[in-house]
Chains A and B, each alone.
Chain A
Amino acid sequence: MKILTMPSFGADMAVGTIVKWNVKPGDPVSRGDIIASIETMKGLIDMEVFDDGIIVTLLAAEGEELEIGRPIAELQLKNEEDSNNSSVQIVESGDAHSVDVGSNTAVNQEGASNSSDSQNDVTKESRVLTDVEVKSGDSINTRRPKISPAARNKAEQLGIDWRQLSQGTGPDGALLLDDINIADTQSAEPALDSVKGPKDMMRDAIAANVSRSKRDIPHYYLQLDMVLDNTLNWLSLHNADLPPSNRILSNAVIYSAIARTLSEFPAFNGFYRDGHYQPSDSVHLGNAISLRQGGLMVAAIHNAQNLGLLELMEKIKDQVNRARKGGLRMSEMQDATVTVSNLGDRGTDSIQSIIYPPQVAIIGIGRQRIVPWVIDNVVSSATIISMSLAADHRVSDGHSGARLLNKINKLLQTPEKLV
């Protein structure tokens, strides 16, 4: 049995409301199915399941607002024997926060006070199997990591619920003493206060996240001006006879150049967790989309390095439209391996961004502007953008960051290669 919880769709999300269930108890579901629509500060998001199974109970009613990490449904995993292990990986005992739930649902009340990132870790990333589940012969995902006895003692002394922690730094992701000490300092972060209104909570969550980023990540910053004339000329030829729906915007070319270059620079594309950097094989390009109602949403364009320009343009268009009208999928909200922050045509010349933990790099794009530019000792006019890179100095150095930006610039001079 697996407990599905209110997912986090971003560092600035504290609560969500289930607007509509698409499933009822007894319904079979497959990985990728959309089981619910969830209203957040940022609009309507479609929640997917990541396993095959059967919905056993719904633990939250439509219209109910819940903090992230709260249980919302029970899923019996496919091939799971329904007898003994039903309550195995459910954490701790406590009062069940439930609507129509049976007595075997034990719920950890502490869960919601963890940061959104560790919630992501717990629910999605660090699926460390405990001995119990391994013996059950199934790839059951569990929330409980391994832990050394010393670390366990320490956690109990400090009152830290280690079952809620992400993977540790020991063998097989086991939690060690150091991990508990780190968790202890992290838990000193301001907890979300349920008395505050949702706007305050969103602000608090943003504050906690960016503070954590600036405290934990030694950022370094680079910036390069890139001439866009080749890209723009190529685009105007390409778009000349096309209806608006088939046109490609310059952003798509820029994103494509970034994604393809990042696939060759693994030190800028991945997650830094618990003192350890794990590069990602794919570039899930986080596109920071500004919302009309205010705020930002970061949605991942999956495997962006493999997409042709037209495909990428379609993805961006579809994603921006869904971000603004509702209907982004949970997976898009959670697994960006790097982020691009683009202030658009009417922004400023450049932006220096704050890395989104556990990512290790963020690329900022200023507005396109026409400037005097020297080519072959002659001053002429050129349309340029200033592209910035903020990166984690624990993982990469300025030298490789500069190579990254120069490589992107080079690709932008030959946009036809990106098709």
Chain B
Amino acid sequence: MKNLHSLKDLVCKLILDIAPEADMQSLDPNEELREELDLDSMDFMNLLDSIAKETGVNVPESDYAKVNSLQSLTEYIATRR
């Protein structure tokens, strides 16, 4: 559980690199991430790129539906590290 927390912090940090104005405090972790933070397809690809570099977990396009919220994205990474 502690690992999941630090992983979520890492993902939040990577999101802030891409969307510096994002309000991570008030983000509902189960809401659709791209919708909530106004991430376009380029932003999302850049986010997955930095996640791959930081964690070694590569999210293929076919799994995009499984990583559409902060919670599901973090869990997805956690189970594959």
Q: Which A positions have Cβ atoms within 8 angstroms of B?
A: 236, 239-241, 243-245, 247, 249-251, 292-293, 316-317, 320-321, 344-346
User: What chain B residues lie within 8 Å of A250 (beta carbons)?
Assistant: 41
Q: Is the CB of B60 within 8 A of A240?
A: yes
A239 to B34, CA, bound (A): 20
Residue of A nearest to B38 (CB): A346
Interface size classification for chain B: 20 to 34
A247 to B61, CA, bound (A): 9
B14 to chain A, nearest CB (A): 12
A83 to B60, CA, bound (A): 65
User: What chain B residues lie within 8 Å of A293 (beta carbons)?
Assistant: 21
Interface SS of B by simple majority: helix
Q: Is the CB of B42 within 8 A of A244?
A: no
Q: Is the CB of B35 within 8 A of A346?
A: yes
Interface pairs (11), CB distance under 8 Å? A239-B61, A240-B62, A243-B49, A243-B52, A244-B51, A247-B45, A249-B41, A249-B45, A292-B21, A321-B46, A345-B40
A250 to B21, CA, bound (A): 26
- Give the contacts of B35-65 with A (CB-CB under 8 A): 35, 38, 40-42, 45-46, 48-49, 51-52, 58-62
User: With A236-B62, A317-B42, A344-B40 known to touch, is A245 a contact of B49 (CB < 8 Å)?
Assistant: yes
A293 to B34, CA, bound (A): 17
Q: Is the CB of B19 within 8 A of A292?
A: yes
User: What chain A residues lie within 8 Å of B51 (beta carbons)?
Assistant: 244
A321 to B18, CA, bound (A): 9
A249 to B39, CA, bound (A): 14
B18 to chain A, nearest CB (A): 8
Residue of A nearest to B19 (CB): A292
A247 to B41, CA, bound (A): 11
A274 to B45, CA, bound (A): 44
Q: Is the CB of B41 within 8 A of A345?
A: yes
